[in-house]
Amino acid sequence: MIDIDHFKNVNDTYGHSTGDIVLQSLARTLLKTAREQDIVARTGGEEFSILLPEAKKDKAKIFAERIREIVSESEMGTKEIEIQITISIGVAEICPNEDKDDIYNRADSALYRAKSAGRNRVEVA
């Protein structure tokens, strides 16, 4: 699970239309970084999820760190307004006999740990 840090500030400072452009820029970055078999989805306001089929927790964390770095080093926005954002990420590996709510809740908890620990971080469930 991926969440843009302090996204409300982007909307409040630059307006919702610029916020939408930032969301679109992030989505393009996630899609470019993901493998062909990965599934990238926007799951909420400024929240995205990436499913990494057959990736174990250690590989998923490496992938998440790479995305976090790429985003923090990129400028997003418009030609007139370049905005730097950071993201927090929660990583969870599907466990045997686990349903979609369980994996979602564990990834969400890891995401909130990343936010609580200072943002612009990856935490693993």
Catalytic residue of the set 46, 54, 75, 123: 46
Does the annotation mark 54 as catalytic? no
Collapse the DSSP code of 55 into the 3-class scheme (helix H, G, I; strand E, B; otherwise coil) and give the result. Answer: coil
The length of the chain is: 125
What value, to the nearest 5°, has the Cα angle with vertex 108 and ends 42 and 90?
A: 80
Angle separating helix axes 7-14 and 16-33, nearest 10 degrees = 140
Which residues are known to be catalytic? 46
